[in-house]
């Protein structure tokens, strides 16, 4: 009996120790879970605080910009406290104004580029004309001595313009937009208005007009495209 009681006592003590150990494990697990939850809560609070600080800093910078002239004034002097709604409204108006200015500047830049391209074409044409000596020869005394009737001059001019328009219309007739028309016009100008092409055109028109009018200048040199020019 004594032995049995000792065994029962030891068994009871072992059960109590196991229960205590289990309770300790449960307490440790609960403490760890609570610590992890506290850590997550702390990290969340820190992240939220950073977000709020960033928003606050952003509003402060926007407020400085709109009060320094970046936004349109709608009440309240410089340095006065502005609500967040006012800051956002002024910022939006300022951005819209900047976008409009950028669009205008881009349109102006595009127009200037086209003007530069056209001037470069004209400059190149004059450079080639001067280099070939055609401009000087057109002012020769022989050409100046020829008296050409005004009707013939008009016919030559009309013939040149008609052929130029036909060529231009053929090159740009199916353009579907102003941008495409502008590009095709510059391409036509560079291709069809070169000095050599214009000389051939004028020579062809002059010969045709002379043949149609039966003009034969007496006592002077024959009329050619050089004298007509």
Write the pLDDT tens digit of every residue in 36-83. 888 999 999 999 999 999 988 888 888 888 777 655 555 555 556 778
Chain segment 112-150, per-residue pLDDT in tens: 898 888 788 778 777 776 776 655 565 555 555 557 778
**Between 107 and 145, the higher pLDDT residue:** 107
Distance CA 21, CA 25 (A): 6
- DSSP, residue by residue, 23-67: HHHHHHHHHHHHHHHHHHHHHHHHHHHHHHHHHHHHHHHHHHHII
pLDDT value of position 70: 54
Distance CA 202, CA 207 (A): 8
Chain segment 172-190, per-residue pLDDT in tens: 888 788 778 888 888 888 8
Model-level pTM greater than 0.75? Answer: no
Reported confidence tier of residue 11, pLDDT bands at 50, 70, 90: low
Query: What Cα–Cα distance (Å) separates residue 207 from each residue in 16, 147, 157?
Result: 129, 16, 13
Percentage of the chain with pLDDT > 90?
14
Tracing tokens 């053929």 back to the chain, one arrives at: 170
């Amino acid at each position: 009996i004594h032995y049995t009681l000792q065994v029962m006592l030891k068994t009871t003590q072992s059960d109590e120790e196991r229960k205590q150990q289990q309770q300790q494990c449960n307490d440790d697990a609960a403490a760890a879970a609570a610590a992890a939850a506290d850590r997550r809560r702390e990290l969340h609070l820190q992240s939220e605080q950073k977000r709020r600080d960033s928003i606050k800093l952003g509003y402060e910078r926007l407020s400085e910009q709109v009060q320094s002239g970046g936004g349109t004034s709608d009440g309240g002097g410089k340095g006065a406290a502005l609500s967040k709604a006012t800051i956002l409204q002024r910022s939006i108006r300022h951005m819209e104004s900047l976008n409009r200015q950028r669009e205008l500047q881009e349109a102006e830049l595009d127009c200037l580029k086209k003007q530069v391209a056209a001037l470069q074409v004209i400059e190149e044409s004059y450079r080639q004309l001067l280099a070939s000596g055609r401009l000087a020869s057109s002012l020769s005394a022989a050409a100046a001595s020829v008296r050409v009737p005004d009707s013939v001059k008009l016919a030559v001019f009309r013939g040149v313009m008609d052929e130029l328009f036909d060529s231009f219309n053929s090159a740009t007739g199916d353009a579907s937009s102003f941008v495409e028309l502008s590009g095709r016009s510059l391409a036509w100008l560079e291709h069809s208005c070169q000095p050599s092409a214009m000389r051939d055109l004028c020579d062809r028109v002059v010969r045709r007009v002379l043949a149609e009018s039966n003009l034969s200048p007496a006592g002077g040199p024959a009329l050619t495209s050089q004298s007509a020019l």
